[in-house]
Structure 1
Amino acid sequence: MIYICDEVLKQMLIEENDTPDLLADQIKAIDIDNLEQGTINPNEDRLNLLGDKFDILCDPATIDRERVRQYAVSPPLFVTGIGFLQREGRAPALPSSCTEGKALIGVVGATNAVNYGVNAILRGREWNRYRNDIYQALNDSLECPGRIISVGSSHTDVARRFCSDKEEISYYVGDLEIISAHARLIPGCNFITSSGSFTYDRYGIFARIDYKKEKEKALLLTRFFEVLNREIMTSDSLLDRAYFAEFGERARSPALETFFWSIRGAP
């Protein structure tokens, strides 16, 4: 998603007739995991920061009805589904107490994985041994829900704990392509994936546009979506280039391949 935003902004820096001018010094990248005095609350939805801390959110944000009503959003740019990873050769274990600093499940806060994803996995008849404990943790009816579900501030954080030799997390839950990519970045982190995904999620780029108070910025943001649409809709699509930049030659899932075809036609 960052690659896609970068490429669109580069195109916007090229002057074209009758289009609003964007200057390089008007672009600033914000790391939402390190805002001001530290990391944001992992349970806070990062979309709430749109229009306050930044104007465009370039990360894997799932498109859903509530978000579409509140923000401007691009066409879907990626599809995936929530699943889980488990360390190869390591038996999952339910921590005996909060003092261990361990958890059965690790997720990134303010993502669909926390409730929607975990519930979907349970509906898929996984984790039957821990079903009651997990449901109680989701309903905050346990004295120590963090022993069951640990909420991290970022995928970097959760992947580090999942791959730790201290066995801090047994299951790493999230969108399969993303959690697999983060786990692969950590040397020696051998894992197996769930048999499939348990949800179907579409990602888009979100923005907050105020047409009345910030007319010039609104024009630039509208231009951003115009250029984005142009760059993804035909062969030599920005979608293919972004996938290669992130995942290399790794094969796409059948669902993702079909999705790309529906957006840009035959490559």
Structure 2
Amino acid sequence: MKYLFMLLLLILPSMALPDATRDDERLTLHVGVRADAPPFSYLPRPMFVAAGKGTATLGKAGYAGYIVYICDRVIDVMKSRRDLTPNEADTGLDFDVEIVQVTADNRFDLLTAETGTKIDILCDPATATYRRVRDHTASVPLYMSGIGFAARIRDGQVNTGGSGRIAVVGKTTAGDYGIKRILDAGEWPNYKERLLAYIHNPSDHAQSVQGAVPASLGIVEAFPTHEQAARAFCSDPEDAKYRFNYYVGDMEIVNRALMVYGTPNCKFERATATYSDDRYTIFMRNPEQADARKARLLMRFSRTLTELVLTNPSLLEEAFQANFERYSRSDKLRIFFWSLYGP
């Protein structure tokens, strides 16, 4: 019996060694989130009570929104599960999460970066375009939105003259694709000639700013964040040439950004129609751009997300209820949800 006990003392440490080695090589999932894209991925201001905060790492760090809620729930489920395949278990039953705040401008660059700041998962309202899906790994669709615009009301009426400018956020689909869809629908006839020139040669007709108002103004001004775009749209400079008539972006983001970042005296007509059908997905680092264990961890994230989305009750319904209180779903959005997880 004594010899058996001594033998166990020798064997047990060696049996525990693989787990200890995995703990020493604990993986870190770098998750990119936006601070300025309500109600999908944003960092609420102090004193602003935000619905839909996640229950895991992102929510505890203060981030909120529909996409943030989804990412947090997936991470939470991944950390709590123990029924893993051998390959999945090799990534570790637990892992660290590092939050990286991204912007519309740098988010996809960080998703492919090899050195320095980089991300593995992009948890923001990113539209699934041909180029993005071609260059990155995309999840199942998570939401159906569309390009819309808010219009300033001055002197008691919507300002539709062709002299005002249009605010967008740079490196989003609003600046060219979105404006083209709005023109195709017959909107903004007074702007059409100038905007078609902008679409065909954006550098000559747009202005990208990093703070100060430029001396030379383009008809379209691209801002780094929705907060800056909303504040500029709500401003009323004395010189009319500096004023904005329209703020273009995904309908829900434009409306919520004006509610969160707009000034109290800002009068505008909310975006009520969409001119495109845009599906949001969560983009991930491509497997060939990660080592084998990180690639398997990303596969776990993707599989867990797909399971939680496609089974009923769906995570999408839970996230929607948490973030869109008193929001009436359009027929288009209702059909989109039905196509994923049924009635």
1:215-235 deviation per Cα after TM superposition (whole angstroms, max 9, x unaligned): 111111000011111111133
Q: Does structure 1 residue 83 correspond to structure 2 residue 148?
A: yes
Residue in 2 that maps onto 1:250: 327
Q: Is the 8 A contact 1:45 1:111 kept in 2?
A: no
Q: Is the 8 A contact 1:176 1:197 kept in 2?
A: yes
Q: Pairwise mapping of residues 98-177 of structure 1 onto structure 2 (< 5 A)?
A: 104-140=165-201, 145-146=206-207, 147-166=218-237, 168-177=243-252
1:28-80 deviation per Cα after TM superposition (whole angstroms, max 9, x unaligned): 111113xxxxxxxx6x4632320321011111111122222221111110001
Moved more, 211-220 or 120-129: 211-220
Cα distance, 1:206–1:212 mapped onto 2, change above 3 Å: closer
> How much does 1:195 deviate?
5.7
> How much does 1:171 deviate?
0.5
Residue in 2 that maps onto 1:32: 102
User: Which whole-Å CA distance do the structure 2 matches of 1:175 and 1:70 have between them?
Assistant: 22
SS at match of 2:112: coil
Residue in 2 that maps onto 1:99: none
| Runs of 5+ unmatched residues, structure 1 | 34-41, 96-102
Residue in 1 that maps onto 2:50: none
**Pair member with larger Rg:** 2
SS at match of 1:49: helix
TM-score (normalizing by structure 2): 0.66
What number of residue pairs does the alignment pair up?
Answer: 249
CA-atom RMSD in angstroms: 2.3
User: Which whole-Å CA distance do the structure 2 matches of 1:111 and 1:62 have between them?
Assistant: 9
Residue in 2 that maps onto 1:178: 253
1:142-172 deviation per Cα after TM superposition (whole angstroms, max 9, x unaligned): 8653330000112222122222344742101
Aligned counterpart in structure 2 of residue 229 of structure 1, from 306, 309, 312 = 306
Cα distance, 1:239–1:63 mapped onto 2, change above 3 Å: same
User: Which whole-Å CA distance do the structure 2 matches of 1:191 and 1:22 have between them?
Assistant: 50
Q: Does structure 1 residue 61 correspond to structure 2 residue 126?
A: yes
1:202-261 deviation per Cα after TM superposition (whole angstroms, max 9, x unaligned): 110001133475111111100001111111113332112222332212111110111111
Q: Pairwise mapping of residues 5-44 of structure 1 onto structure 2 (< 5 A)?
A: 5-18=71-84, 19-20=88-89, 21=92, 23=94, 26-33=96-103, 44=105
> How much does 1:110 deviate?
1.0
Q: Pairwise mapping of residues 208-223 of structure 1 onto structure 2 (< 5 A)?
A: 208-211=285-288, 214-223=291-300
- Which amino acid in structure 2 is aligned with residue 177 of structure 1? E
Cα distance, 1:190–1:239 mapped onto 2, change above 3 Å: farther
- Which amino acid in structure 2 is aligned with residue 61 of structure 1? A
Moved more, 82-91 or 164-173: 164-173
Q: Is the 8 A contact 1:22 1:220 kept in 2?
A: no
Aligned counterpart in structure 2 of residue 238 of structure 1, from 315, 323, 328 = 315
User: Which whole-Å CA distance do the structure 2 matches of 1:212 and 1:122 have between them?
Assistant: 39
Q: Is the 8 A contact 2:309 2:341 kept in 1?
A: yes
* Matched-pair identity in %: 36
SS at match of 1:128: coil
User: Which whole-Å CA distance do the structure 2 matches of 1:141 and 1:77 have between them?
Assistant: 31
Cα distance, 1:178–1:22 mapped onto 2, change above 3 Å: farther
